Amino acid sequence: MSVKLTRRALVSLLPVVGLVACGGSSDTAGSASAAASGEAAAGVRTDAGYQLNAVTDGAPTVTLYTDLQCPYCAKADPKYREAAAELEGTMNVTVRHFPLSMHANAVPAAQAVQAAEAQGAYVAMADHLYTHQADWKEITDTAQFVTLMGNYAEALGLDRTRFESDLPSEEALALIEQEYQDGVAAGVKGTPSFVVEGTKLENVDSATSTADMVAAFKQAAGL
């Protein structure tokens, strides 16, 4: 089993900027994010990413680009999920991976979330990883990392054998890379970053309250 702890160079090394984000400073947005199509419940994956609320056909989409090793993403995530609940029926709220090279274990952590998603536990694993960042962020030994992720999976009630088998999935790694590339196309350079219909927001970060997130997302979507 091979979970890469020395991650591939998906993005050049970027400095930490300010106290509300990991990675580089923001540019204006690039190409539009993929729009969700059809009707689907929360907890499914569409072209727009992993859905945190029920998909409303034709509604605008907001996407969080996140790095599971980023401490500011850990602060933003619970508020973003609260915003997803408030926006159900109004906006489609999604999340996508954007692992930064400054975080050596960001890709393996994303692979762990994808292995958990295969068993319906994307949010549960992501939440667990954010909560326990200090326990895994500096691990350099592959076997130790896999064992810890397996322990997490077991604690969440997942099939550990299946989870560990899914960890090195090339399909999952390709998805992580594609989501990263889509983030780059939308102007994302650091995390957490929020993109509404292809426009990266400059006024939302990890310090933004749930209410202000909701207001900013709706304003950006013209609602």
User: Each residue of 136-174: pLDDT tens digit?
Assistant: 999 999 999 999 999 999 999 999 999 999 999 999 999
Mean pLDDT of the chain: 85
Length of the chain: 223
Q: Is the pLDDT of residue 13 over 60?
A: no
Q: Give the separation between CA 160 and CA 165, rounded to whole angstroms.
A: 8
Run of H or E residues at 63: strand 61-66
> Residues 125, 32, 7, 68: what is their CA dihedral angle, to the nearest 10 degrees?
-30
Tokens 């859905």, residue? 51
For 112-140, the pLDDT digits (tens) are 999 999 999 999 999 999 999 999 999 99
Spell 26-60 as b/e; 16+ CB within 10 A means b. Answer: beebbeebbbbeeebebeeebebbbbbbbbbeebb
The model's pTM: 0.83
**Structural domains of the chain, with CATH:** 24-221 (3.40.30.10)
As a whole number of angstroms, the distance between CA 107 and CA 177 comes to 9
